Structure 1
Amino acid sequence: MTDLVTVLERQEQELVFGAFDHAHAWRLGTRITAIAQEAGHKVGIDIRRPGLILFRAALPGITPDQESWIARKAAVVLRMEASSALVDARLSSAGIDPVATGWLGAEYAVTGGSFPIRVRGVGVVAAATASGLASMDDHDLIVDGIRAYLADEDGK
């Protein structure tokens, strides 16, 4: 589990934005959606900041349950300022079950699939989330999309 924590922490150190606004959210969301469509994934994709959804895509085959998972995973990121997968890995490696302890309520899902949008010099400003695949596959979809987006932006 320690190796997973290290990998997830490294992702968060590497995947940092220079700026992020509504236009960035649209471009990032469409990039992640294109990756999901190309792979034939049945997922929901969401980018939000507290109180505002900046991007939403519901690909064919998802269920209404995905909305709940998206909101709950994003709540973890916006509260803990770390990916939901990293929070899960850290707690698991410490032997802590946040549900059993009552530490986090039903509005949180401590499982992979949501990643912080961190702006250099500012901090976490939003969460990008996928739901519909296995938790770590949701996480990887978001990370792959962010990585591709940042590579494109740096190349401009």
Structure 2
Amino acid sequence: MSPTPSRQELPSAAELEAEAADLVLPRFGHDEAWRLGSLLVELARARRAPVAIDIHQGAQQLFHCALPGSSADNDGWIERKRRVVERYGAASLLVGARFRAKGQTFEESSRLDPARYAAHGGCVPLVVGNAGMVGTVTVSGLPQAEDHALVVEALRTLRDAL
């Protein structure tokens, strides 16, 4: 899978499952949230990406940044994507891919309010070793595959540095 798929390409559920297994962190806390958020800001600025970035550990927001070109709509998308990850325990893009693999749409088949839940790429669970999911990291502002790829790139960089 390329680091930034085109607008048309969406990875399969199998590809996203394999990717998720590779994104386990040895630890995650306030310092790692700052490092991850700062890395996402750096990557987004280098690409002139008009994104909003959000990192939560449980119910606590540890990092938020809205870069030029983003809007309050991006914050709404962040909340909707985050709710999907919190409910399903998997990346928002993966949840959507699982529905598509069954020939269904998330919006019609999940029975969840689409004003509150969005299975679009950009939110990834923060998983720590045997502790499991401890939070979420979300990007909104690009096409969904690019939002997802940006988060994955930053998570791999952080993981390799820890």
The alignment's TM-score, normalised by the length of structure 1, stands at: 0.92
Is contact 1:5-1:89 (8 Å) kept?
yes
Partner of 2:53: 45
Contact 2:26 2:159 (8 Å CA) reproduced: no
Matched, 1:96 2:101: no
Specify which of 46, 59, 64 is matched with residue 67 of structure 2: 59
Structure 1 unmatched runs, 5+: none
Separation in 1, partners of 2:144, 2:39 = 20
Identical aligned residues as a percent: 37
How far does residue 101 in structure 1 lie from its aligned partner after superposition? Answer: 3.7
Task: Please show how residues 1-156 of structure 1 align to structure 2 within 5 Å.
Answer: 4-101=12-109, 103-105=111-113, 106-153=115-162
CA displacement 1:7-53 (0-9 Å, x = unmatched)? 11111101101111111111111111111111110100101134211
Q: Which has the higher contact order (CA 8 A, sep 6+)?
A: 2
* In 2: Cα distance, 1:65 partner to 1:123 partner: 30
Q: RMSD in angstroms over aligned alpha carbons?
A: 1.7
Per the alignment, in what secondary structure is the counterpart of residue 47 of structure 1? strand
Count of residues in correspondence between the two structures = 153
How far off is 1:102 after superposition? 5.6
Q: Using the TM superposition, give the Cα deviation of residue 149 of structure 1 relative to its aligned residue in structure 2, in angstroms.
A: 1.2
Q: Following TM superposition, by how much is the alpha carbon of 1:4 offset from its aligned partner in structure 2, in angstroms?
A: 1.4
CA distance in 1, matches of 2:141, 2:44: 11
- Opposite residue 82 of structure 2, the aligned amino acid is A
For the residues of structure 1 that align with 2:109 and 2:153, how far apart are their CA atoms?
33
